[in-house]
Structure 1
Amino acid sequence: MRLSHFHKLFIFSILICFTVNNISAQQATVTVNQDAQIPQLLELKKSLEKENKLSDGYTIQLYYGELNRANSVIRKYRNIYSAWPASIEYETPNYKVWVGNFSTRLEADRALIEIQRDFSSAFILKPERKKKSK
């Protein structure tokens, strides 16, 4: 009887050893080689998206007119809101205050409802991207 307990314990110990070996054999190391310019390009892309330069989406216009008033409007906006980036765009001879970079009309509508509490004349527009001439 005692011998059978010894055999069971021995077999159980061997099974545990094989299981531990299989578990530890599942570890691996992955090496990623990337171009050194990729982080720079990602930062450039982020800054262009923040400035509404890459988007085919929607933006909210708060003001259209002269520069001093545009600066005043953007300062007021930035004191109240921080969720969406704002910028001043120039279109001869006027300046525009644009807010946000919304990929869908629904996102823009939701933001507009909130922004119109403080800027009642705000409206949504879909700016056209400037096409490069060949």
Structure 2
Amino acid sequence: MSYSNLSKLLIFSFLVLFFSENASAQQGTVTINQNSKIPQLLEIKKDLEKDNKLSDGYTIQLGYYDNLNGANAVIRKYRGIYGSWPASIEYETPNYKVWAGNFNSRLEADRALMEIKRNFSSAFILKPNK
């Protein structure tokens, strides 16, 4: 090995050791100051999303009923069969409407409707005005 190659190797080795020592020697702590209401707000947001309150997407209406007992019976049946899509009861005078799902696209809603119509033949897709 020539003298110039040996010196380049030594310089390279020295630089690698120097920079790796500096990189590993850096330590510190990070303190995050967070408003105490943020976790509470996140929980509220999660609940609203679960109940289709924030979505501007599509939902499926399973039916409408003139009394709350009828709507409750349908939502219980729905939740027993389809636990993966959220469901809610919406009151619009004078009826209780049972809505299911929270779909971002019409295609997602169409696919779900095909499945849901097996048990709820009068179901249809709607895009609620929020």
**Structures share a fold, TM > 0.5?**
yes
CA distance in 1, matches of 2:76, 2:40: 30
Question: What runs of 5+ residues in structure 2 fail to find an aligned partner?
Answer: 1-6
Runs of 4+ in 1 over 6 A off after TM superposition: 10-13
The residue aligned with 2:3 is none
Secondary structure class of the residue paired with 2:85: coil
CA distance in 2, matches of 1:95, 1:26: 62
Q: RMSD in angstroms over aligned alpha carbons? A: 2.5
State the percentage of identical aligned residues: 73
Corresponding position: 1:43 with 2:40: no
The residue aligned with 2:23 is 23
The residue aligned with 2:76 is 75
Compute the displacement of 1:79 (Å): 0.7
Compute the displacement of 1:33 (Å): 1.9
The residue aligned with 1:118 is 119
CA distance in 2, matches of 1:27, 1:105: 51
Q: Structure 1 residues 78-87 or 100-109, which shifts more?
A: 100-109
TM-score under structure 1 length normalisation: 0.76
Taking the TM superposition and a 5 Å limit, the aligned residue runs for 1:81-96 are: 81-96=82-97
Q: Could you give the per-residue CA deviations for residues 36-84 of structure 1, whole angstroms, max 9, x where no partner exists? A: 1111111111111111222211110001113222111111111111111
CA distance in 2, matches of 1:11, 1:100: 65
The residue aligned with 1:62 is 62
The residue aligned with 1:99 is 100
CA distance in 2, matches of 1:49, 1:29: 35
Secondary structure class of the residue paired with 1:120: coil
